[in-house]
Amino acid sequence: MIFDLPGRFRRGNLHTHSNLSDGYLSPAETADVYREAGYDFVSITDHFRAEYGFPITDTRDLRTAGFTTLIGAELHAPRTEAGQQWHIVAAGLPLDFPPPTDTETGRELARRARAAGAFVGMAHPSASLLTAADAESLDAAHSVEVYNALADRENRGDSWHLTDVLLNRGHLFTTYAADDAHLQPQDPPPCQAWVQVRTESLDPNALLTALKSGHFYSSTGPELYDVRIQGDAIVVRCSPASKVLLSGGHPGAEVAQGTDLTACSFPLTLFRGTHCRITVEDVLGRRAWTNPIHIAADA
C-alpha cells in the first residue's frame, strides 16, 4: 500500500485557473493562495482555448525550496453526448504543447497529452453530464475527478457513481479531488479539495510519476494514516472521524460510526473479485477517499 512507500505525503491541487483564462488572480497570486494555505504544489490548468490564446501557463519561476508547480492546462475538444466540449485536466504538459486541430476529438487530444508526458484527468464528469460511453471513450485518462469543489455549488460535485460503473466494467482509473478554483469573488473559497501524493521529494517529475502510479489519496479535510488488507479484512487508521465507510463495486457497504473514530476494520466479503474504497468523514462532513482497491476473487 502507498502508506509504506518512502517519503511523505505532499498536498496539492491539480485543477486551478488564473487570469490567463477565466480566473481572477494572476498565476503568481494564485500560487500564493495555495502556498500560504500550506500546500506543497499546485497545477495551474488554464483553459486551453483559442479565446485565451491557448495558454500553457509557465509557473517555473513560482517554484521555491518548499513549494513547486506542475505545468498543465484544461484541454477542450468536441464533443460529449450532452453536446458540450470535453474538459480534460492535463498536469505535466510541455510548454510547447500544440493547440488542437479543428478535427481533433477529445479522445485524440487526451491521447496526445498523455503521450507528451501528462497526467490526464477526466474533469468533473457529473457537472459535464458525462455518460458511461463518453467516459469509456477517453481511454487515455489516468484518473477521474470524483470530487470538484466548484461543481459542488450546483450539487454536481460528486462523480463516484459513474466511476464505480467504469470500474465495474474493468477500467483501472484512479480517482482524485480538486478545487477547480477560479478565485472569482463570487466563487466558493479555495483550498477545499486536494490530493495527498506520496513522494520522496518535491521534484515535479517525482510528483508526476507518483500520480501516474496511483500513489495518492484525496481529501476535503480528513487524513488517512494507514489503509491495508490484513487477511480477510481491510484495516483503517485515520484522523478523528464520525464515519468510516467501505464501499465500491457492490451495492452493499460496511459502515463504522461513532465519535472520534481513529481506527476500524471491515470484512472484505462483499468485494471479492471487484474493487472497493475507504471513505472517511469527519464531524463537519468533510471526506477523504482512497483510490480504488482491487480485490482478487481468491484473495
The three grid cell numbers given for residue 166, joined into one nine-digit string:
467504469
Domain definitions of the chain by residue range:
2-219, 224-294
Residue position matching grid coordinates 463504522: 256
Task: Count other Cβ atoms within 10 Å, centred on residue 86.
Answer: 24
Third-level CATH fold of 2-219:
TIM Barrel (3.20.20)
DSSP secondary structure letter of residue 64: B
Whether 259 has a pLDDT exceeding 70, the answer reads yes
CA 149/CA 134 separation, integer angstroms: 22
pLDDT digit string, tens, across residues 134-182? 999 999 999 999 999 999 999 999 999 999 999 999 999 999 999 999 9
The residues, ordered by sequence, that sit 6+ positions from 178 with a Cβ below 8 Å of its Cβ are 13, 14, 15, 16, 89, 121, 145, 147, 148, 149, 193, 194, 195
DSSP secondary structure letter of residue 151: G
Are 49 and 64 in contact, with CB atoms under 8 Å apart? no
Supply φ then ψ for residue 85, to 5 degrees.
-70, 150
What is the full DSSP assignment across 256-297? EEEEEEEEEEEE-GGGTTSEEEEEEE-TTS-EEEPPPEE--T
Helix (H, G, I), strand (E, B) or coil at 217: strand
The residues, ordered by sequence, that sit 6+ positions from 31 with a Cβ below 8 Å of its Cβ are 42, 44, 59, 62, 67, 69
- Domain 224-294 sits in CATH at 2.60.40.10
Among 101, 109, 72, CA closest to 89? 72
pLDDT digit string, tens, across residues 169-222? 999 999 999 999 999 999 999 999 999 999 999 999 999 999 999 999 999 999
pLDDT digit string, tens, across residues 179-191? 999 999 999 999 9
